[in-house]
Amino acid sequence: MADMRTQIAATLFRPAPGGYVYREPYRWPFGAAPHYLVNEDQKAAISAIVISKRPILSQVILWSTLCAMVAVACVGLWAATGHDTPTAIDTIGIVALTAAQVILALAIFFWWKRRRLRPLLAALSPTDLRITPSEMRAAATNAMSAKQIVVAGAASVFASTAMLVNGAIQLATRQPIGLVWLAVSLVFAGLAYYYFRQLIARTEET
């Protein structure tokens, strides 16, 4: 069973003649990510910086931080407006404040990671070879065992269902924030579909 570090490495490095193609991950989605050719030693040095030694703990911290950002946005809007029940404008404000916090946090995190990587990247050879987002998703899934895919799919189904129910309840009580929950539930439904589709494809191949 591949661990999470192996799965992350599979998305960033693709085997190529003489080594690997490396896609630099700390870029905004609208720009082209630089790619480099690396050897085994360079891959290990980059992985030590890019991939956390405790990726599961990092994920817990990441999601906890996101929840804290949402809580800060909710408390901030409540303190500013005094509304006990969020209005449609309050909901938009919560989403906007949360997005602003996420963008700022990512900007700081990306700058810090690029600063640590800069000495290594300066010695690498740029390449025209590319790792596309679809190849990254496929590589991550291929590095997972069938059991891990089932667990990921089931977790996505659970999350989607919970958010769908919560969104329906919020809308039934005329809370506009229910629309946000419904939108997020669709995201997790899409993830569940992707994982189970990959599982079916792997089963058919074997």
Cα gap 157→146, rounded to integer Å? 16
Show Cβ contacts of residue 94 under 8 Å, excluding neighbours closer than 6 positions: 70, 73, 74, 77, 86, 177, 180
Instruction: Let me know if 70 is exposed, middle or buried by CB neighbors in 10 A (0-12, 13-18, 19+).
Output: middle
When pLDDT is averaged across residues 38-42 and rounded to a whole number, the result is 92
Exposed, middle or buried: residue 185 (CB in 10 Å: 0-12, 13-18, 19+)? buried
Q: What global pTM score does this model have?
A: 0.67
Identify the band that residue 40 occupies on the pLDDT scale cut at 50, 70 and 90.
very high
Q: Which residues contact 47 (CB under 8 A, 6 or more apart)?
A: 5, 9
pLDDT tens for 158-178 read: 999 998 998 898 888 887 778
Query: Given this model, what pLDDT does residue 13 score?
Result: 92
Q: How confident is the model at residue 1 (pLDDT cuts 50, 70, 90)?
A: very low
SS (H, E, C) the chain: CCCHHHHHHHHHEEEECCEEEEECCCCCCCCCCCEEEECHHHHHHHHHHHCCCCHHHHHHHHHHHHHHHHHHHHHHHHHHHCCCCCCHHHHHHHHHHHHHHHHHHHHHHHHHHHHHHHHHHCCCEECCCCCCHHHHHHHHHHCCCHHHHHHHHHHHHHHHHHHHHHHHHHHHCCCCCHHHHHHHHHHHHHHHHHHHHHHHHHHHHC
Answer with the residue of higher pLDDT: 90 or 112. Answer: 112
Q: Which residue has the higher pLDDT, 78 or 165?
A: 165
For residues 32 and 121, which has the higher predicted lDDT (pLDDT)?
Answer: 121
Neighbour-count burial for 156-178, b at 16+ CB within 10 Å, e otherwise: bbebbeebbebbeebeeeebbbb
Instruction: Report the sign of the C-alpha dihedral through residues 40, 44, 49, 55, in that order.
Output: positive
pLDDT tens sequence across 117-159: 999 999 888 999 988 888 888 888 888 888 888 888 899 999 9
Average pLDDT over residues 46-63: 78
pLDDT at 206: 67
